[in-house]
Chains A and B, each alone.
Chain A
Amino acid sequence: MNTFTRLIGTAAVALTLGSGAATAADLSFMSFTYAEEANKAVVQGVLDNFQKAEKLTVEPLGFAWGDMQKNIFLRARSKTLPDIAQLSERWLPTFASLDNLVDLNAVYGKDKLEAAFAPDALAMGNINGKQFALPLLSGSIGMVANKEVLAKAGISDAPKTVDDFKKALVAVREKVPNSVPYSMATKNNGSILIDFMVWNWVHGGRIIDDAGKVVIDSKQSRDALGFMVSLLKDRLAAPEIDRPDSRRLLAQGASAFYLDAPQTRTFLRDFSGKGQAFDANVLPMPTPVLKAGDKSVSVQWGHLLVQFANGGKAKAEDPADKFLTYIVSDKVQTDLPLKMSALPVTKSARAAVADDAYLKNWSTATGDARRNEVGIWSNAADLTNIIGEEVQGALLGQKSPDDAIKSMQARLTTSMEKAKKSE
């Protein structure tokens, strides 16, 4: 056999083995949690246990949270979608028009799903009566504080009103050198949106009303943006901060407050290098209100699982659906969400973990979470960019809060002309 023939032979064998490997898994699972160093082992454990239980193999596809939407979008265009994908709850309306998305009511039955899942969790995956996603874990985005930093600044109680909050920030700025008292998101449009939405609600404003009319051009919204700008001017917040920066700053004792989901505890354990010993410093607290007696606000949050199949048709016996069934079973739901410091999504699992002190505190602190008023629209990505750009423009002094709000009103109104709502 000459060298050329040997080379061809080797290539053929490699190709055969390669294609065999590529098609070996029974289903593929695209996940951003799998790409997170702090959580990868937890997800891998679930996949391994599923494999043992069902004798089905899963090909995990890990992509960073920020790259997930892009990857799903490109895979939809190139017809290489995974069987199951993990989404943030606010992304679902964007992908609702993909014709490969499976209505899981048709697979499992609406009644069965309603009987098994907590209504608030199930609602996150429902778009206009179709159950396009099952919840994986849930919770809310609320305020978190670092007790150790508060103690250094001489603050004994979590601030309750916006005025108290500002006083606490000043105390942290004065007593904790080189700190960012409130790690407000000032970078990344997706992160800025959450902070702005929360402060806008605190000040009594709305971005888009229930009928789809843009109502941002209001005194309340101007006050909210003015408040955020003042924090930056007074060095109570800092530029160039995204959510991962906030987590690191809080974990390293260089920040007192920031907004995040309950899974912050897992990130803080990891980023502080102290593991569970850091839990004692994590204080979930109600978001400060404008005046005493107002109701504290938080944003509904969760991770969803969607299934893609040809023509959007699937059966409960399909490997992908067996995986969905497994991942929302009590065995997984009483374990995985807790390890990720989040609430389970099924009624039975919630009852089983009702005594978890951290989650209990979190729920008490954040109260009834409101639905993300931007994430429910099909053009959520565009809306997020517009709000992020305008808020950042005001925060960095490129325009006044008034001008930013006016510009936001005009741009959002144009964007909403073609929008579809998910209910």
Chain B
Amino acid sequence: MAVIENNVGAYPVSPHANRGGLKAGQNRIGLLLLLPAAIAFAAVILYPFLSALGLSLFEYTVEMMEPRFIGFENFYKIASDPDVWAAFWTTAIYVALTTAGTLVAGLGWALIMNQPFAGRAVLRSMSLLPWVLPSTVSAFIWGWIFNSRYGVLNAFLMELGVIDYPQAWLSTPEGAMLAVVLTKVWLSIPLFMSFFLAGLQNLDKEQIDAARVDGAGNWAVLRDHILPHLRPVLMIVVVLGVIGNLQQFDTIYALTGGGPVRATTVLSVEVYRRAFEQWDIGFASAVGVLWVAALLPPAFLYLRMLVKGN
């Protein structure tokens, strides 16, 4: 050992060598590789976000050529604006229903796709279809399903004799909310299913077999073995689902435009309406800031899970 150490010490060191050595060089390459993503992030996300943050403190309507600083007045206006609070409430309902619905449907579908049967591979591939389709295309497909005059749903129910006249599903607050929730659940099932399927494939089959030998039924196996095993996946999926559903805009806007009246006006649609229908950029930015604030807790949870290695 001593011989080796002596030999190492005898190697000449280049005068051009960097002080940090190999590790510092790797770090620099790492930073260099990060640079394009960082520039894109700064240009597409950080700069617009900081601009919106700044504009939330200004009055900036279509009649004004330059914004006027008004401090926190937009936030005071929000506090007394029932429409914005209604949008918060609608968002909460939408996120809760969509996340819960996707969780149940995604898990159920993953359990089916985890069973051995003929054609499973084909069905698994087909299950990814909603994920592949652009979300606005999916929204229009669902729009046609629910359409009051030409919709498949009305035709089916009238054929069965359940209804006498076509129903305007998208014209009732409940029907419109159900439609946007169903559309988002349908879109999200592939992603959730993939997570659950990956978790299920790590499940010890012998443990399940042993439970069945001990007399456990399907429900007991799910409750006492599968769900505890999937707990880390469940947590990630719930947090990601909440974040994704809080951000949702395109399917809702394409399907209902936030209506009827304001029944499906979630925060994203509210920001859009304030900015591009009422031309009040300052107020829209303030609502946007609160929307980001609503996104922070689940985002923080998700990042903490990632850092902790869950």
Interface pair B171/A385, CB less than 8 Å apart: no
Residues of the A chain whose Cβ atoms lie less than 8 Å from the Cβ of B62: 73, 94-95, 97, 381
Interface pair A98/B149, CB less than 8 Å apart: no
Distance in angstroms between the alpha carbons of A348 and B165 in the assembled complex:
53
For residue B277, CB closer than 8 A to chain A, the reply is: yes
Please report the number of residue pairs spanning A and B whose Cβ atoms sit closer than 8 angstroms: 58
Least Cβ distance of B246 to chain A in Å? 24
Main secondary structure of the interface of A (DSSP, over half): loop
Interface pair A73/B279, CB less than 8 Å apart: yes
For residue B260, CB closer than 8 A to chain A, the reply is: yes
Residues of the B chain whose Cβ atoms lie less than 8 Å from the Cβ of A98: 65
Main secondary structure of the interface of B (DSSP, over half): loop
Interface pair A385/B63, CB less than 8 Å apart: no
Residues of the B chain whose Cβ atoms lie less than 8 Å from the Cβ of A186: 171
Q: Give the residues from 352 to 381 in chain A that come closer than 8 angstroms, CB to CB, to chain B.
A: 378, 381
For residue A387, CB closer than 8 A to chain B, the reply is: no
For residue B300, CB closer than 8 A to chain A, the reply is: no
Least Cβ distance of A221 to chain B in Å? 18
Least Cβ distance of A380 to chain B in Å? 10
A398 and chain B: residue at smallest CB distance: B261
Give A387-401 as 1s and 0s: 1 = Cβ < 8 Å from B's Cβ atoms.
001001100101000
Distance in angstroms between the alpha carbons of A187 and B173 in the assembled complex:
14
Number of residues from A at the complex interface, CB < 8 A: 27
Q: Give the residues from 251 to 282 in chain B that come closer than 8 angstroms, CB to CB, to chain A.
A: 257, 259-262, 273, 276-279, 281
A411 and chain B: residue at smallest CB distance: B83
For residue A239, CB closer than 8 A to chain B, the reply is: yes
Interface pair A240/B172, CB less than 8 Å apart: no
- Given A239-B148, A392-B261, A97-B63 contact (CB < 8 Å): yes
Interface pair B261/A396, CB less than 8 Å apart: yes
B262 and chain A: residue at smallest CB distance: A389
For residue B168, CB closer than 8 A to chain A, the reply is: yes
Distance in angstroms between the alpha carbons of A385 and B276 in the assembled complex:
12
For residue A238, CB closer than 8 A to chain B, the reply is: yes
- Given A187-B259, A235-B165, A396-B260, A70-B64 contact (CB < 8 Å): no
Interface pair B259/A99, CB less than 8 Å apart: no
Residues of the B chain whose Cβ atoms lie less than 8 Å from the Cβ of A389: 261-262
Give B228-266 as 1s and 0s: 1 = Cβ < 8 Å from A's Cβ atoms.
000000000000000000000000000001011110000
Distance in angstroms between the alpha carbons of A178 and B65 in the assembled complex:
51
Interface pair A385/B273, CB less than 8 Å apart: yes
Interface pair A381/B65, CB less than 8 Å apart: no
Residues of the B chain whose Cβ atoms lie less than 8 Å from the Cβ of A238: 148-149, 168
Interface pair A398/B173, CB less than 8 Å apart: yes
Distance in angstroms between the alpha carbons of A393 and B83 in the assembled complex:
14
For residue B200, CB closer than 8 A to chain A, the reply is: no
Residues of the B chain whose Cβ atoms lie less than 8 Å from the Cβ of A392: 259-261
Least Cβ distance of A239 to chain B in Å? 4
Least Cβ distance of B129 to chain A in Å? 27
Q: With A77-B281, A398-B173 given, can you name 5 additional A-B contacts, CB distance below 8 Å?
A: A238-B168, A381-B278, A385-B273, A392-B259, A396-B171
B residues with a Cβ closer than 8 A to A are 62-65, 147-149, 165, 168, 170-173, 257, 259-262, 273, 276-279, 281
5 tightest Cβ-Cβ pairs between the two chains A and B = A239-B171, A239-B168, A97-B63, A70-B276, A393-B261
